Amino acid sequence: MCPKWLSDALWEAHAPSLRGGAFLRLGVKGLDDVIRDFPDSGLVIIAGGPGIGKSVLAGQFIYRGVVDYGERGVYVSFSETKAAFYASMASLGMDFEKLEREGLFHFLNFFISRKEDFSLSLDSLLESISKFNARRVVCDSISVISPLLSEFETRKLIQVLKALVVNMNALCVLVCETSSEAKSDELGSLGFVSDVIILLRWREEGAWRVKELEVLKVRGVPVEKGIYEFDIDRKHGGLWVISPPKPALRGGRWERVATGVEWLDDALQGGLYRGSLTMVKGESGTGKTCLCIHIAANSASRGEKCVYVSTEESEDEVYHLLEEFGFNLESIKGGMRVIRLMPDESSPSRLYSFFDCLVDEEKPSILVIDSLTPFKYAMSHERFYKFLRYMQSLVKANRFVLVATSTLSLIEETVETDIIGLFDNLFILRHALTDGAPHKTLFIVKARSSDHQKTPLRFEVTTQGIRTVGERAPMTAT
């Protein structure tokens, strides 16, 4: 039965019928990997609590459709003005005003206070979609209308809207307000009629609130994992789903990147493989930072791009060490970027975002993180492992070399086999004495796919840099 406030002719003319077999891309980073077969027509529900990013995701759906795929869009707001919407989206790099000037986007603003108002608004919306030939439509927020209707009327309304947009070959996103937990039972009849349901929610983790996206339903497509973390920032153009990048296919011979430390390259049979992760672990004062600075500076001196992320020393302190070791700052500054990072001042999601953007912008040959220890103490062991897993995927997908340091306590700590297992190479640095003379040793515990030197290397740090001393040192007691 058709609701009285909706015309019988409109209801009869558009009986629900889904057009199957076609899919579209959202254009939202990470989400297209999560939902590979997104229906090209029908209804999509984006639900969540206040401030979680529903309108941002809905805006991206429209914006990326126009910019990336040439699909015109219409955005209907029942609560926000055009000026407020444009300003909000512009802060994330989406210029809707330009799209409107070019005739690719249309914004509608309706004030709904009674059922009859929505009937008129629906007519205007359908007319706009038809005249504008829009493929993507957003209604933000359907929760403004729901209190005016009964459960039966709401369901009939959604069924009619779905039939109309499908027959017009359009995909319509309905933004829905829920509690901050965004539970599926809060959707009511919307959940049954919709083709796709995406829930956005907050989750407490230590001192931070983590944003989560759940793909609850995609009609006709199995949903495997379902729940993913996400973040919102300008560099990603709004919301992006934090999913590990896919490793690049390795073709031909494996390429090595020299460390520039001759005796270490000899021990490694030529250097570190591109797309590998190296952990440099040692007690305080064993030369971890000095070794990494040499690797980074030597890379920059060869004309390769290197990024040095310091979590303990400032940029000035790193540059001072470079000068102390005799490196010409003018010759390497163009190829070496030093960044100071405080892991305990950023949420886990922002750390993912930082490194994702850094790699995308800089495209480094070598990335140094000195040190991982502040990351370890800024998050739980489980989160630290997940973070390193993400970094591992980032390295493999972009084929650069990651060298990271970590502190080893004077009283030997238990080796975290799960963490160490993520790294291709492991170097242990130690203080040692030989015939009463102090020096340091570097032991290559593992170097994946390499016939590396199996005995420790004896070295010292001088104002001229790192150099070997004497013959190979005997392994010190551990």
pLDDT for 276 beyond 60: yes
Mean pLDDT of 393-404: 95
Confidence tier at 449 by pLDDT (50, 70, 90): confident
Confidence tier at 277 by pLDDT (50, 70, 90): very high
pLDDT digits (tens, 9 = 90+) for 322-350: 988 888 888 887 889 999 999 999 999 99
pLDDT for 109 beyond 70: yes
Confidence (pLDDT) at 115: 64
Confidence (pLDDT) at 2: 43
In contact, 101 and 165? CB cutoff 8 Å: no
Q: What is the 3-state secondary structure (H, E, C) of the chain?
A: CCCCCCCHHHHHHCCCCCCCCCEECCCCCCHHHHCCCEECCEEEEEEECCCCCHHHHHHHHHHHHHHHHCCCEEEEECCCCHHHHHHHHHCCCCCHHHHHHCCCEEEEECCCCCHHHHHHHHHHHHHHHHHHCCCEEEEECHHHCHHHCCHHHHHHHHHHHHHHHHHCCCEEEEEEECCCCCCHHHCCCHHHHCCEEEEEEEEEECCEEEEEEEEEEECCCCCCCCEEEEEEECCCCEEEECCCCCCCCCCCCCCEECCCCHHHHHHCCCCEECCCEEEEEECCCCCHHHHHHHHHHHHHHCCCCEEEEECCCCHHHHHHHHHHCCCCHHHHCCCEEEEECCHHHCCHHHHHHHHHHHHHHHCCCEEEEECCHHHHHHCCHHHHHHHHHHHHHHHHHHCCEEEEEEECCCCCCCCCHHHHCCCCEEEEEEEEEECCEEEEEEEEEEECCCCCCCCCEEEEEECCEEEECCCCCCCCCC
Confidence (pLDDT) at 23: 61
pLDDT for 223 beyond 70: yes
Q: Which residue has the higher pLDDT, 372 or 38?
A: 372
Q: Which residue has the higher pLDDT, 115 or 159?
A: 159
* HSE-CB for 350 with a 13 A CA cutoff: 11
Confidence (pLDDT) at 4: 44
pLDDT digits (tens, 9 = 90+) for 56-96: 999 999 999 999 999 999 999 988 899 999 999 999 999 99
pLDDT digits (tens, 9 = 90+) for 9-63: 433 443 333 333 456 788 899 888 888 777 888 899 999 999 999 999 999 999 9
Give the other-Cβ count within 10 Å of 84's Cβ. 12
pLDDT for 473 beyond 70: no
Confidence tier at 206 by pLDDT (50, 70, 90): confident
Confidence (pLDDT) at 55: 95
Confidence (pLDDT) at 151: 74
pLDDT for 172 beyond 80: yes
Mean pLDDT of 369-379: 92
Confidence (pLDDT) at 25: 81
**Burial of 339 from C-beta contacts in 10 A (0-12 / 13-18 / 19+):** middle
Mean pLDDT in the chain?
84
Confidence (pLDDT) at 15: 33
In contact, 330 and 301? CB cutoff 8 Å: no
pLDDT for 260 beyond 80: yes
pLDDT for 423 beyond 60: yes
Beta strands 196-205 and 208-218: pairing type?
A: antiparallel
Q: Taking Cα atoms as reference points, which of 458, 415, 416, 466 lies closest to residue 438?
A: 458
Q: Which two tokens stand for residue 62?
A: 């429209």
Alpha-carbon gap, residue 285 to 287, rounded angstroms: 6
Highest average pLDDT, of 23-37, 136-150, 151-165, 386-400, comes from 386-400
In contact, 226 and 196? CB cutoff 8 Å: no
Confidence (pLDDT) at 47: 95
Please state, for a pLDDT cut of 70, what percent of the chain lies above it. 87
Confidence (pLDDT) at 19: 32
Least trusted range by pLDDT, from 251-260, 291-300, 374-383? 251-260
For 96-116, b/e burial (b = at least 16 CB within 10 A) is bbebeeeebbbbbbbebeebe
Mean pLDDT of 140-164: 77
